[in-house]
Structure 1
Amino acid sequence: MDRKLSRKTPKRKTSILSYWTLQYFLILCIGFIIIVAGALYWIRTTSLEKGLKTAELLGLEIAEKVSGTENKLHIPPDLDRLVDKRTKLFNTDNHFCIMILDNNNQLIYSNPKMTQQEVYTRLSDDLSEPRNHKFAGVTVNVVDADQTLGKVWVLQSKKAITYSPDTLLIVGLLFAALILCGWFTIYLLSRKLSKPIRQVAHAAEQIRTGNYDVNLNLDTKEQELNELVHSFREMSLRLQQLEEWRNLSLAGVTHELKTPVTSIKGLVMAVRDDIVSPQEGKEFLDIALKESERMERMVADLLDYNAMSAGSVAVRHERVDLSLLVGEIIYQWKIAYEDQSPEVAMHVPAGALYTIGDALRIQQIIVNLLNNGLQATASGQTTLFEIRLRAEENYLYVDVLDNGTGIAEEDQFKIFERFYRGELKKRQSRGLGLGLTYSRLLAQAQGGDLTLTSSSPKGSQFTLKLPRWKTPEATTPEKAYRSPANA
């Protein structure tokens, strides 16, 4: 059990500042170790080569000094002084040895002093190279009159040649300085980057707890960070508005559904308790029936919207004669509202106008626009509609103009929000505020859109955009909407 619990324990998270600086520091160290290793190898090879050339020059100088007469080596008395001067000039340590051997490999001179036996310990058995591989050596023949009299051995420690303390100190200091500079640079950049991200994360935590009043007063030079902060600030404001609208919408929906239920309950109780006369009871039941029908329509709107939002409403994509369809929609709608005598003028351009869409869904959209325009008409005023069809290269447009009271400017950008209803509409009619939202979803599902083109106290204009069928001459059979009377 303990093992299972330990496996589910989440790993401890580190800050972006700590993570990036540590990771960059490790990468920097590894990279500089490789670079320094290559640099030291190059310094070692170059220094060894130069050291051997310098030793060879010293050997040549000594060979000239000891070349004597009568085919014999001559050791000048100031040779020790010469060697000491040269060793100081070459800045060598005590790992430096000069030997002069004759043709019989007998020791004639050495600095520092040594015996013949020590010569054998320093050189190989054949006296051709140093016995210890930590030493490097060069030999220079002592020649007099084209005759070799002996040779000069110059032995020197490879370590002394390649890596001097000053060189190692300088390389170490440069190595440390570069690592610290690189780490400090990434630290500053990570700190500058993590600061706005940390504040955004803190603001997101506040939003998660329900506090939408966040303060993000950040102004950075980086475009991406500015865009992030600006987008998050706009998102928080938008969420705050949506939360306010949600609360208002829930209150409005609850009120709109509760009102007919309360009314129906009171009317039925009045009839049941014989508070009213039989004639009045019949009128009360008629009123209750109308209230129930209105409530049924509101519930149906809510169900239709939820189904559309969930993607469970099927939208067909067929070839439709738009001018014919709109004409039949207007005809049927005018019959339903014949008692209010609305007037509708339709303007159709010459030529066939074919769209790809769902005739039933198009009818729902246009009927909803006509109903909204009818409700927006002032009391005692004749309802007038003007419907214009127009075509562009890829789309067809249906403009629906009414002579209603219009939409307030501050409400125009909210009218397609779900459950939103303007103050005037709340007073004039009952509903959930889903008609325009649902209509826009239907238009977008068909590849088009529904927009509010203009609105003023003289009326409003909505525009329905639908994709155009570009080849009406095609052999595909036409599937246009037909009313039952024409079937």
Structure 2
Amino acid sequence: MDQRVKPKRTVSMLSYWTIRYFIILCIGFGIIALAAIYWVRDTTMDNRIRTAGLLGQEVADRVTTSSGEINVPPNLDYIIKNRLRFFNIDDGTCLIITDKQGNLMFSRPAITEKQMYNKLSDDLSQARDERFMAINTPIDNSSNQQIGQVSILQSKKSLTYSPKELTFIFVLLGMLILAGWLTIYLLSRKLARPLGGVAEAAQQICAGNYDVKLNIHTREKEIQELVSSFEEMAQRLKHLEEWRALSLAGVTHELKTPVTSIKGLMMAVRDDVVSGEEAHEFLDIALKESDRMERMVADLLDYNAFASGSVEVRRDKLDLQLLIREVAHQWKLTHEMHEIDIQLDLPTEPMYTTGDSLRIQQIIVNLLNNGLQAADQSSCIRFTIRMFADNDLLQVEVTDNGSGVAPEDQYHIFERFYRGEKKKRSVRGLGLGLTYSQLLARAQGGELLLRRSSPAGSTFALELPR
């Protein structure tokens, strides 16, 4: 059974962040609201009980005469009404004044004694209805003897919750949630716009369109750096794609030229267009062309092998000056047909490096071959190989007396498949020799550099760790 994992549904960053942040805000502020309501309830109840006690004490003082008797003034109802409004006490509050025997002396709102006992217990200390609470204040005479009682009946709901306070809490929390959500929404939208532009540009690059321009300008340093880096990357990809196409065309042309030449020469010999010594000369030319093509293919294979990581580079302790002597001697022997003079300026004492003798030999030989190709074949070809220590590095400088590298080509000579115009006309190749040599030097912890170049010759420097 084909069980394929279904791709997860994606949502925009704006929706993802704002929705989740809104949910988190609601949960967080909901917890805060519950804690605030619980705290407000206890605080409000305590404050309102104290307020009711103050009101009861004031009423008790007003109904007590100097002779120690209870006397309800005629304007008491008006006074209580004003005090209820001042203390912000619910208008449904019932205030009852009784004497020492429990007889009803005054009530607001007006009730009968029977209704009073329906509201209060027999001893007038508690409310019969559990939804109400009785706040009692004794009425004392000048001798501190209780001559009556002021009872204030209030609903427990009005004691614990204030509509205005609850409204204020919920409005405040709502405003905080809205402000938090609006903040993350605006920030997410500000961040999503440039990222959306970069994502759209990336899709264009995937489709093969490298001419992308992001007209995005933000004050955020990181986002602006991302946009600038992406635009630069797109331009470099464009240049690399153009360079790849040109390089492929160049490689194809360089390989096709010797193949075409060999084919023409062999057909001339086969069809008896030439014969005798001329036929042998055509065969010799064909062999030389095949040798050139073999070298180009070898360069291409070596570079691809190194780029894929299949070339092993050893880490041996080497006497570098001894190795250079051997390489220079062997290379001169293989080029005895040319008038070559190699001057060695090497230290007398051994100098050791860590590397691969075969790879170092490849680098030196490649530099000598390049110098040979650039030299005037009609005169003496001179090389100077100089070696010296520079702090923690060993420097090997190879100087030739060739025609040098043009100033406009010096910056590009280590790029793969790059060949200057003059070299294209004079020498066939793929332009991988220096690139491969530099990679070999770096793989051994060193570097290959063009130290200087002029029409009088060039100097390349191989740096290796001491």
Calculate the TM-score normalised by the size of structure 2.
0.91
Residues 323 and 353 in structure 1, CA contact (< 8 A), matched pair in contact too: yes
* Percentage of pairs with the same residue: 56
Name 2:455's counterpart in structure 1. Answer: 457
C-alpha distance in 2, partners of 1:340/1:97?
Answer: 127
Matched, 1:436 2:453: no
Partner of 1:482 in structure 2? none
**Contact 1:137/1:154, CA 8 A, preserved across alignment:** yes
Q: Does the aligned pair in 2 maintain the 1:302–1:434 contact within 8 Å?
A: yes
**Aligned counterparts of 2:181 and 2:149: Cα–Cα separation in 1:** 56
1:174 partner amino acid: L
1:158 shift after superposition: 4.2
Which residue of structure 1 lines up, in the alignment, with residue 106 of structure 2? 109
Question: Following superposition of structure 1 onto structure 2, how do residues 118-197 of structure 1 map, counting pairs within 5 Å?
Answer: 118-123=115-120, 128-132=125-129, 134-144=131-141, 145-197=143-195
Q: Distance in 1 between matches of 2:371 and 2:146?
A: 124
Asked if 1:201 corresponds to 2:199, the answer is yes
Q: Alpha carbons of 1:237 and 1:143: their partners in 2 closer, same or farther (altered >3 Å)?
A: same
The alpha-carbon distance between structure 1 residues 179 and 453, as it changes in their structure 2 partners (threshold 3 A), is farther
Q: In the alignment, what sits opposite 1:44?
A: 41
Choose 318-327 or 343-352, whichever is displaced more. Answer: 343-352
User: What do you get for the CA RMSD once the two structures are aligned?
Assistant: 2.6
Identify the match of residue 316 of structure 2 among 309, 315, 318. Answer: 318
**What is the CA distance between 1:122 and its match in structure 2?**
3.8
Paired residue type of 2:166: L
User: Which residue is 1:416 aligned to?
Assistant: 414
Task: Name the CA distance, whole Å, in 2 between partners of 1:387 and 1:136.
Answer: 109
**Which residue of the other structure, out of 92, 95, 103, is the alignment partner of 1:95?**
92
Task: Give the letter aligned to residue 16 of structure 1.
Answer: M
Unaligned 5+ residue runs, structure 2? none
Say whether the 8 Å CA contact 1:402–1:460 is kept in structure 2: yes
Q: Is the 8 A contact 1:334 1:341 kept in 2?
A: no
Query: How far, CA to CA, are the matches of 1:148 and 1:330 in structure 2?
Result: 128
Q: Could you tell me how far apart the structure 2 residues matched to 1:384 and 1:137 are?
A: 119
Q: Report the Cα offset of residue 360 of structure 1.
A: 0.6
Residues 184-224 of structure 1 deviation map (CA, whole Å, 9 limit, x = unaligned): 22222222222221221122111111111111243322221
Question: Are the equivalent residues in 1 in contact too, given 2:343–2:383 (CA < 8 A)?
Answer: yes
Match of residue 35 from structure 1: 32
Structure 1 residues 401-443: Cα deviation after superposition (integer angstroms, max 9, x where no partner): 2232222333333222222222221111111111111111211
Is 1:79 aligned to residue 89 of structure 2? Answer: no
CA gap of 1:292–1:190, structure 2 versus 1, over 3 A, is: same
SS in 2 for 1:386: strand
- Is it true that 1:292 corresponds to 2:290 in the alignment? yes
**1:45 CA displacement:** 2.9
1:222-241 to structure 2, matched below 5 A, reads: 222-241=220-239
> What SS does the aligned partner of 2:464 have?
strand
2:12 to 12, 15, 19: 15
SS state at 1:331 partner: helix
Q: Is the contact made by 1:398 and 1:465 (CA closer than 8 Å) also made in structure 2?
A: yes
Name the amino acid aligned to 1:256.
Answer: E
Q: Is the deviation greater in 351-360 or in 188-197?
A: 188-197
Displacement, 1:53? Answer: 1.5
Partner of 1:477: none
Q: 1:32 Cα shift?
A: 2.7
The Cα shift of 1:56 comes to: 0.8
SS for the counterpart of 1:397 is strand
Q: Contact 1:407/1:455 (CA < 8 Å) preserved in 2?
A: yes
- Write out aligned runs for 1:215-254 (5 A): 215-254=213-252
Question: Once the 2 structures are TM-superposed, how far is the Cα of residue 350 of structure 1 from its aligned partner?
Answer: 5.4
Q: Aligned partners of 1:250 and 1:314: how far apart in 2?
A: 27
Identify which range, 431-440 or 453-462, moves more after superposition. Answer: 453-462
User: 1-side partners of 2:129 and 2:312: how far apart?
Assistant: 92
Q: Which runs of 5+ in 1 are unaligned?
A: 469-487
- Report the count of equivalent residues: 465
My pick for the range that moved more, 336-345 or 130-139, is 130-139
Partners of 1:95 and 1:160 within 8 A in 2: no
Question: Quick one: distance in 1 between partners of 2:455 and 2:152?
Answer: 110
- Displacement of 1:458 after TM fit? 3.1
Matches within 5 A, 1:339-378: 339-349=337-347, 351-378=349-376
Query: 1:63-99: per-residue Cα shift (whole Å, max 9, x none)?
Result: 1223358875433333222211211222333331212
- Give SS of 2:72's match: coil
The structural deviation recorded for 1:365 is 0.7
Contact 2:60–2:138 (CA under 8 A) maintained in structure 1: yes
Once the two structures are TM-superposed, the CA of residue 379 in structure 1 deviates from its matched residue by 5.3
Alignment of 1:472-487 (within 5 A): none
Q: How does 1:368-407 map to 2 (within 5 A)?
A: 368-378=366-376, 380-407=378-405
Equivalent position amino acid for 2:261 in 1: S
Q: For the Cα contact (< 8 Å) 1:52–1:137, is it kept in 2?
A: no
